[in-house]
A and B are shown apart, each in its own frame.
Chain A
Amino acid sequence: MTRSFRIFLLFILISLCGVSVYAQKYGIYKKTLDNGLDVIVINNPAVPLVTVEIDVKNGAYTESPGYDGLSHLYEHMFFKANSKIPNQEAYMERLRELGAIWNGTTSEERVNYFITAPVDSLKECVQFMYNAVTSPLFLKDELVKERPVVTGEYDRNEANPYFHLNREVSKRVWWKYYSRKNVIGDRDVILSTTPEKMKTIQHRYYIPNNSALLLAGDITPEKGFDLAEKIFSKWKRGPNPFDEYKVPEHPPIPENEVVVVKKPVNAVTMQCVWQGPSVGKDPKSTYAADVLSFILGQETSKFHKDLVESGLAYGVSFSYYTLNHTGPITLFAQTSIDKFDACQKAVFDELKKMTDPDYFTNEQLENAKTILATNEQYGRERASQFVHTVGFWWAVAGLDYYLNYIDNLKKITREDIKNYLEKYVVDKPHVLGVLVSPDQAEKVDLILNIKEGEIKDDSKN
């Protein structure tokens, strides 16, 4: 074979594989348009579908108390009238014509909207999303009608006893700026909101330089970038919202606190939360946190053996939720009332031992990295879901964080994990919440040495 022919073959192979100057890992390709919109294409042609997703750096973290829950209400309003579609009925009709399945989610630091449709609807879907994100009308009538729908979602949350546990703990962990973590929001704020407030959110956050367009599935990067350029380059950039509307830093938890939440439940659940790292400020700790969580999640770990295999708990976990504005570190344990005392003591004993040099083996450390890497591989199998993962990382930590995630995990050492624990967990203030049925609460109070009136009795809410 001649040299020129080899080069030609290489060129052909590269073309077939769809690699371009934007090539990245895992079939993920990124390009930024002139207006600042990040376009991310995820190529996975396993089924003849494509998912079109818009991610916006918005969510609870942008909400002052007067806007508590409005990122979420805005997400609902996205699926309503815009300059091209007169009302929600017509909106849904158009989605059916496109063969599209749709949804949206709101979290602390990301709001996303996505439609999955047959690949032959791709262009229309991209145009549809452009119209929806750039020209919502926030009709008064539609807004008024949507409020009880959102409070209906709120009702469903409140019907779940674990929602109350999480809320009571969160209020104390993020005691100064709770609205910045409270995704579902405040009922009164939701019920009294106006189209003007929706427009404020739109103009502040729904701008291309604060958003990403993700196209995932049976699509090449060239096609995706071309479509994005043609349809989305008209979207006008705006000032970076975080220059003017800064997200305040959560002050530390002043001191250890305990809250007992009384609801009719058939197990005793402990949720203990510390303030953990912010990915932008301390990325190394976020990798260490993930590796540690997956060491402790192994059934061969001391953590699992001492707490679960011993019969003290039905299940335990110790995890970190990656966020850019202080992510929580959460320890969950579930047990019976009879074993609660022994279980809670064992949990805190375990925490003291975590920095011991022999707390985990080298094999468990390496296994944790393998598990994290393979879980990513399993996750990538499902393009219509994987796109949400990529969008989340884009919003919270930046796409490069995700693309380099596995490489950085591999570098994590015992020392890094020890540093992470000492910096965020060992002897650091935390909030312990216990969910228990009202008839067993007295026993929990006694064990935790809580005097009447000292803590909130959530059953009176």
Chain B
Amino acid sequence: MTQRTKLVLLILFGLLFSISLNAQEVQSFEVNGLKVIFKQNTSNDIVSANMYFKGGVTNLTEKQAGLEAITLDVSSKATKNYPKDKLNAALERMNSQINSSSNDDFSSVSLLCVKQNFDESWKIFTDVILNPSFNEEDLNLEREKLISAVKQVNDNPDALLQKEVSHEFYVDHPYSIEVNGTEETLSSFTSDDLKAYHSDMLETSRMLLVVVGNTTLSDLKSMVNNSFGSIKKGSYVTKMPPEVEMSEPSLKVVYRELPTNYIQGTYSAPERGTDEGYTMLIASSILRDRVFEEVRTKRSLSYAPAAFYRASFSNYGAIYVTAVNPDTTIKVMINELQKMKDEPISEKELTNKIRQFLTGYYMGNETNQSQANGLAFYELAGIGYKQAVKFIDNVNKVTAADIQKASQKYMKNLQFVLIGNPKELEVSSFMY
């Protein structure tokens, strides 16, 4: 090989390597009080742009339950510069997707498109955010769909279980307000309500923009400046929802004629992004493996035993199962909770678990959209997006002693909800 060809090879390899490094770099800048987080990814042609609105249900009174969700939903139907048909035709022509969603902690309007259509899609995306029409007929149509969706939560035992769990766990807490509204509140909103609420939302101190994809920092800065450079800044401060502590265990039974029982036991859990938060991630994952092995593999008591740690600003951990014999099954699961407290896990189990957990983490970060949501969660939770980048390091620091300590501290006073019609029920089995 000649010197010249070696040089060419070196340049080619260098180019590939630098692309790969750049793809990992997360940057941020501010325009008119709007914080923007940007991660360039040139390995595909997709761009994910997401505007988050802070506060979630902490912005709402009980009578306003669902107002933020319906406001964003209707806002994407028609805008000042894109009446309904023009908006839909443009999005369909490009297959650019604009969606809104709301959870207890924040709401978002998201854009997914290919880079060739980013400029044109951005115009629609920003018009949806800045200039929605809030037509009466759009509101009425969406209202009917949303009321139907709220009612249909009762048709699905898993959805109903999560609703009941939330009611039992978050008593006198901001999360007790239904983020998607109730039949009553959704029926009451007028288009003026939506317009007024939207006007309040539209201040840069209440917003966060996260873009991941195949575009450049300079292009993005210019686009953000043109679109959001002159809206009001405001002085919004996020009110973080308080942690929940339970002083005693409980069981609520919701009777339904079902072929099996849907059960979840919920306990207080630490904040995400703290040392205890990383520990609880691993502890929950170990608990999940153990209940799977004891309940499903060894005893065939259930198809679906699980354990998890909710991803919100005020958290719970939980064990979950569907079983025809609730007493027997829950005893086995609680025994596993107790073992987490009594016996430190082995180094081998910890090492393997962290390795497996990180596989799941990477799988959850394969798309630009999922990476944007991950960065946004960290930023909105007050942890800071830079910590999101250190996620793997923080998980690797978790020790067996940390897990035992966190299990002892948190895995107690379980708030159980059971949906079904069990033949027998020994309430004491659930009192843990």
Contacts and interface: CB of A to CB of B under 8 A. Distances in A.
Interface of A: 5, 8-9, 12-13, 16, 45-49, 88-89, 92-93, 95-97, 99-101, 116-118, 145-150, 152-156, 158-161, 263-267, 298-300, 308-309, 311, 314-315, 334, 336, 363-364, 366-367, 370-371, 373-375, 377-378, 380-385
Contact of A156 (B4, B140, B303, B353): B303
B144 A314 contact: yes
Interface in B1-39: 4-5, 8-9, 12-13, 16
B92 A46 contact: no
Given A299-B92, A384-B366, A264 B44 contact: no
Contacts of B359: 49, 99-101, 116-118
B259 A97 contact: no
B199 interface: no
A382 B259 CA distance: 36
Contacts of A97: 352
A266 B44 CA distance: 43
Interface string B44-63: 11100000000000000000
A88 B141 CA distance: 52
B267 to A, nearest CB: 24
Given A101-B356, A267-B152, A155 B46 contact: no
Given A155-B259, A381-B44, A12 B12 contact: yes
B89 A96 contact: no
A118 B262 contact: no
Interface string B343-357: 000000100110110
B303 A149 contact: yes
Contact of A155 (B13, B260, B356): B260
Contact of B46 (A145, A156, A160, A381): A381
Contacts of A156: 260, 303-304, 322
A48 B8 CA distance: 27
Given A96-B356, A367-B92, A264 B155 contact: yes
A363 B89 CA distance: 9
A8 B5 contact: yes
A300 B262 contact: no
Interface string B236-266: 0000000000000000000000111010000
Interface stretch (B174-182, B292-300, B373-381, B401-409): B292-300
B254 to A, nearest CB: 13
Interface residues of B, number: 64
A99 B302 contact: no
A164 B46 CA distance: 39
B8 A382 contact: no
Contacts of B304: 152-153, 156
Tell me what chain B mostly uses at the interface: helix, strand, loop, or mixed.
Answer: helix
A309 B367 CA distance: 32
A166 to B, nearest CB: 14
Contact of B157 (A8, A48, A159): A159
A116 B358 contact: no
Interface string B137-157: 000110011001101101111
B429 interface: no
A366 B93 CA distance: 8
B95 interface: yes
B383 interface: no
Nearest to B140: A311
B94 interface: yes
Nearest to B77: A299
Contacts of A45: 43
28 contacts: A12-B9, A12-B12, A16-B12, A16-B16, A45-B43, A49-B363, A89-B297, A92-B289, A92-B292, A92-B293, A93-B352, A96-B355, A96-B356, A99-B355, A101-B360, A116-B363, A118-B358, A118-B359, A147-B300, A148-B301, A152-B324, A155-B259, A159-B262, A300-B92, A336-B144, A367-B93, A370-B92, A373-B95
Given A46-B43, A88-B297, A267-B152, 20 more contacts: A13-B12, A46-B44, A96-B352, A99-B355, A100-B359, A116-B359, A147-B300, A149-B296, A150-B303, A152-B260, A152-B302, A156-B322, A159-B259, A160-B156, A265-B155, A298-B92, A300-B88, A300-B89, A336-B144, A377-B44
